[in-house]
Amino acid sequence: MALVVICGQPCSGKSTAATCLADALQESEPKPSVRIVNESAFHLDRNQRYADMPAEKNLRGVLRSEIDRSLSKDSIIIVDSLNNIKGYRYELWCLARGAGIRYCVLHCDAGGLDCRTWNERRREEGLGSSYDDRILEDLIGRFERPDSRNRWDSPLFELRPHLDGIRKSSAAIADAVAYLTKRVDSKTRDVKILQPTIATQSAHTTQANSLYELDRATLEVMNEIVKAQTDSASMGLNKRNVVSSLGPGFPTIDISGTVTLPQLRRLRRTFMKLTGQSSLSGPPPPTDADSAKRLFVDYLNREIGNV
């Protein structure tokens, strides 16, 4: 039926929000089946879960598998975890799209200062385990705020725990409940039920991040080309541009003649499509940005001669 991704800084009130949302959903008619997926299954202390990158990646991977297994047309799954990485929220969005269900993000928008205070209080009052200062600061610094302009952060409901607290009746929770339980028909415009595409039906979830990397990496290469073209035009050079600013170890891009922005966009779209399609039957797209850039540069060097 739906996937709700709760996100926010450590100790910002996410678990409180998840419980309030679940309770508020239980009061709606007909009562949906609601399940909170959280980190408690880990039987590890908070600090061990986020001790280093491998531990954190492992946590995200296990949660993602659990979410993937739990999604269905009949229940609402609430993910109570930091969900602080944009790429990870994108992966969860892909899972919801693959399942053909509703999706939304509920952000506990508390600032670092409040989270530090609440964490300190939790420590002093023995209200459950608190984050060590080093881990708390690291997580606060790495939080990637949701942005409703991203498909994977939309619709976005924002709680302001430091101003209004978190309650079943909080406006953001009431709005989320309305969105999640609204009946839809062919005329409904404001509720989006994600539709699976060939890519999301067939691609494995591990590929979602690869596609995200690919998207970003190809955009970066395209921007470099446009920049090099602008620079060389301003220097009065227009015969041949060499883009070398991608960094050491990358092939250069020879542009004999002028490639326009629409042509570049078209090439990028085709490349994304081809790479996505080949990943369905062959190897998955590259998972790191550098390999994705290299692949795209090779493709451009082959194609630009034919433009």
Ligand X SMILES: Nc1ncnc2c1ncn2[C@@H]1O[C@H](COP(=O)(O)OP(=O)(O)OP(=O)(O)O)[C@@H](O)[C@H]1O
Sites of contact with ligand X (CB under 6 A): 8, 10-16, 46, 118, 122, 127, 161-162, 165-166
Pairing relationship of beta strands 75-80 and 33-38 according to DSSP bridges: parallel
Is there a contact between 284 and 245 (Cβ–Cβ < 8 Å)?
no
Of the two residues 128 and 247, which places its CB atom closer to ligand X in the complex? Answer: 128
C-alpha–C-alpha distance, residues 5 and 25, integer Å:
15
> What is the closest distance, in whole angstroms, from the C-beta atom of residue 23 to ligand X in the complex?
14
> What is the closest distance, in whole angstroms, from the C-beta atom of residue 199 to ligand X in the complex?
33
> What is the closest distance, in whole angstroms, from the C-beta atom of residue 21 to ligand X in the complex?
12
Of the two residues 122 and 216, which places its CB atom closer to ligand X in the complex? Answer: 122
Of the two residues 25 and 211, which places its CB atom closer to ligand X in the complex? Answer: 25
Query: What number of helices (H) and strands (E) belong to the chain?
Result: 12, 7
Name the 3-class secondary structure at 227: helix
Task: State CA 219 to chain mean position distance.
Answer: 17
> What is the closest distance, in whole angstroms, from the C-beta atom of residue 174 to ligand X in the complex?
17
Q: How far is CA 209 from CA 36, 42, 301, in A?
A: 24, 23, 25
> What is the closest distance, in whole angstroms, from the C-beta atom of residue 119 to ligand X in the complex?
7
Q: Is the bond preceding residue 161 a cis peptide, omega within 30 degrees?
A: no
> What is the closest distance, in whole angstroms, from the C-beta atom of residue 141 to ligand X in the complex?
15
Torsion of the alpha carbons at 84, 89, 95 and 96, rounded to the nearest 10: 110
Of the two residues 23 and 220, which places its CB atom closer to ligand X in the complex? Answer: 23
Of the two residues 114 and 290, which places its CB atom closer to ligand X in the complex? Answer: 114
Within 13 Å of residue 47, how many CA atoms lie on the same side as its CB? 12
**What ranges in 165-253 are assigned the alpha helix state H?**
171-181, 198-202, 206-234
Of the two residues 164 and 231, which places its CB atom closer to ligand X in the complex? Answer: 164
